[in-house]
Amino acid sequence: WDDLPDFPTIMLRRDQISEINAELDKGEEVILEFDIENEFKEGPIPVYNVIADIVGTEFPDEYVIVGGHIDSWDGATGTTDNGTGSATTIEAARLLMAAGAKPKRTIRFMLWSGEEQGLLGSRAWIKDNMDQMEKISAVLVHDGGTNYVSGIIATPTMKEDFERVFAPCIGLNADLPFEISERDGLPGGIGSDHDAFLSEGVPGFFWRQSGRANYTYTHHTQFDTFDAAIPEYQQHTSMVVAIGALGIANLDHMLNRENLRAASTRNRRRLGINVDDDMKLNSVLEDSVAGKAGLKVGDKLISVGKIEIKDLGDLRRAINVDDQKLKVIYEREGKRHEAEAVFPASPTRR
């Protein structure tokens, strides 16, 4: 309490950043003024997780966890971060109970608090329940907004199990496809509650999502209001979550944890770009691999090397190969173009 932070952090919208950059590009001076008033309340302040179980019939002390976080930023109602994930967690529980599901393993539904302040709820629960970490088969976290759940990442040792578990999801809705993507390890560092479990060696999954919603527009902004939720996506996601949780809980064994974590990002290659949800470039470093290849802000990535780019996972996988030169297909003003990305002989960090 005697050492409170005194350096404020100010969040600007992307359109505001673009406007500022445009003025700077013209050589204009930009002066920003902010009226900031911060209030601190001496703690500790109690926060609570919400937990409910469908108890397993054969292995009640083994678990599949379904969850999201119930706290949010205070700029709006926190609909897509993470009211949507909390809602699908509750709805998945309702669907399974209404169907009279009798899972072999316990399906635990968890709504964590304090996620925005550093995964406080999930980390506190883990700290108090370390003896259960070896008994958790999977943690399925929905914290990516209202777009429908369109896939999940599996390690090679999980792939066969997931193909069986998620088979009903593949044809659930032709307009909302579902895909299982194989990776050498599960990606961490996303900043959601599955990361807390991954850090303890528990298989934690962050659903892949697709759809018409622009998550970056609502995420941590005053636009994250109730009207941002898309009901048909929410309904579909709830069914996929319920199917996935029940399927994993009913496997004859727990998920294989071999080579669980993805390789360290320390030596991963970098293109020198930032992209939005649609894989459009919103920034390009001038002296980067992408900049030297001629890519510009507004270009949309289509493929890199042999891999079609649908999300950041595809992009990371595409560029972290042995080839020093990779063909890049991108779209600019409605037309497709080709460029060559040339990486340094030794991967560098950017």
Please name the helix (run of DSSP H) or strand (run of DSSP E) that holds residue 40, with its range, or none: none
| Tokens linked to 26 | 């013209």
Asked if 90 and 97 count as a contact pair (C-beta separation under 8 A), the reply is no
Measured over the CA atoms of residue 39, residue 78, residue 85 and residue 195, the dihedral's sign is: negative
Which residues, other chains included, contact 69 with Cβ-Cβ below 8 Å and sequence gap of 6+? 82, 85, 86, 111, 112, 113, 114, 115, 116, 121, 122, 143, 192, 193
CATH classification code of 273-342: 2.30.42.10
The amino acid present at 289, given as its one-letter code, is V
Cα 332 from Cα 335, distance rounded (Å): 5
Q: Which residues pair with 284 in a beta bridge?
A: 273
Say if residue 161's pLDDT is above 80: yes
Which of 87-96, 172-181, 303-312 shows the lowest per-residue confidence on average (mean pLDDT)? 303-312
In the chain, CATH 3.40.630.10 covers 50-249
Task: Summarize pLDDT for 18-37 with one digit per residue, the tens.
Answer: 899 999 999 999 999 999 88
280-286 long-range contacts (CB < 8 A, ≥24 apart) are 282/14, 285/350
Please name the helix (run of DSSP H) or strand (run of DSSP E) that holds residue 19, with its range, or none: helix 14-25
Say if residue 251's pLDDT is above 50: yes
Mean pLDDT for all residues in the chain: 92
Say if residue 83's pLDDT is above 90: yes
Asked if 225 and 219 count as a contact pair (C-beta separation under 8 A), the reply is no
Asked if 92 and 242 count as a contact pair (C-beta separation under 8 A), the reply is yes
pLDDT at site 268: 65
Percent of the chain with pLDDT over 70: 97
Please count the CA atoms within 13 angstroms of the CA of 337 that sit on its side-chain side.
14
Say if residue 217's pLDDT is above 90: no
Cα 309 from Cα 315, distance rounded (Å): 6
Task: Summarize pLDDT for 263-319 with one digit per residue, the tens.
Answer: 544 456 789 998 887 899 988 988 899 999 999 999 999 999 989 998 877 888 888
The pairing of beta strand 300-304 with beta strand 325-332 = antiparallel
pLDDT at site 350: 33
In the chain, CATH 2.30.42.10 covers 273-342
Q: What is the pTM (predicted TM-score) of this model?
A: 0.76
What average pLDDT does the segment 50-68 reach?
99
Asked if 207 and 85 count as a contact pair (C-beta separation under 8 A), the reply is no
Q: How confident is the model at residue 148 (pLDDT cuts 50, 70, 90)?
A: very high
Interhelix angle for 231-249 vs 84-98, to 10°? 60
Instruction: Look up tokens 């009226």; give the residue.
Output: 35
Q: Which residues pair with 190 in a beta bridge?
A: none
Which residues, other chains included, contact 113 with Cβ-Cβ below 8 Å and sequence gap of 6+? 47, 48, 49, 69, 70, 71, 120, 121
| DSSP assignment string, 59-116 | EEEEEEEEEEE----TTS--IIIIIHHHHHHHHHHHHHHHTT---SEEEEEEEES--T
| Tokens linked to 37 | 């008033």
DSSP secondary structure letter of residue 236 = H
In CATH terms, 50-249 corresponds, of 3.40.190.10, 1.10.3720.10, 3.40.630.10, 3.50.50.60, to: 3.40.630.10
